[in-house]
Amino acid sequence: MTQPPFDNTGYSAPGNPPPGYPAPGYPPPAYAARPMTADGERTIGMLAHLVPLIAMVCSAGLLGFVASLVIYLVYKDRGPFARENAVNSLNVQIITAIMLVISAVLMLVLIGFVTYPLALLFAFVVHIIGAMKANRGEWWTPPLTPRFVH
């Protein structure tokens, strides 16, 4: 028995791909964004608040935005609950960054030394509340936080 000829794509002439390969025109399953289970979405929702919180505490407020942005970019298409919590976390970090920049300028007149820790405390409390609500599976919008990212 002879093998069927191969065309220039490496697939057999009748159009059937070799075993273990996807059909032409379809992405491999590993690259497709797969929806998550409800438990997985709750876990990612909680981590969307806890990871930036830990990064923010370890870096005096500078890396929380990066952590929120990475979680948003990775999990935004995996489920609505995970996306909403990632968006909330990113919006909290954006408003915190704005407050920290204003506080840095206000340090020239000494009031910034008070407002900088208050901005970090605000983000800390909002992320803790967001993590607890996400863990319980509750939808929540953080207070005093405009929706920069939807």
Q: Which amino acid is at 63?
A: L
Pick from 146, 96, 103, 148: which is nearest to 122 by CA? 96
**Residue 24 domain flag:** no
Greatest mean pLDDT range, 12-16, 18-22, 82-86: 82-86
In a domain? residue 8: no
Lowest average pLDDT, out of 13-22, 35-44, 98-107, goes to 13-22
What is the extent of the structural domain holding 108? 44-136
Q: Structurally, how many domains does the chain consist of?
A: 1
User: Could you tell me if residue 148 is inside a domain?
Assistant: no
pLDDT: which is higher, 42 or 12:
42
Higher per-residue pLDDT: 5 or 28: 28
Inside any domain, residue 82: yes
Residue 45 to residue 134: CA distance in whole angstroms: 5
User: pLDDT tens digit string along 35-82?
Assistant: 788 899 999 999 999 999 999 989 887 899 999 999 999 999 889 999
Q: How confident is the model at residue 11 (pLDDT cuts 50, 70, 90)?
A: very low
- Is residue 19 assigned to a domain? no
53-83: b (≥16 Cβ within 10 Å) or e: bebbeeeebebbbebbbebbeebbebbebbb
- In a domain, residue 38? The reply is no
To which residue do tokens 């697939």 refer?
11
Q: Looking at the domain assignment, is residue 100 inside a domain?
A: yes
Maximum separation of any 2 CA atoms in the chain, in Å: 87
Assigned domain for 142 exists: no
Percentage of the chain beyond pLDDT 70 is: 78
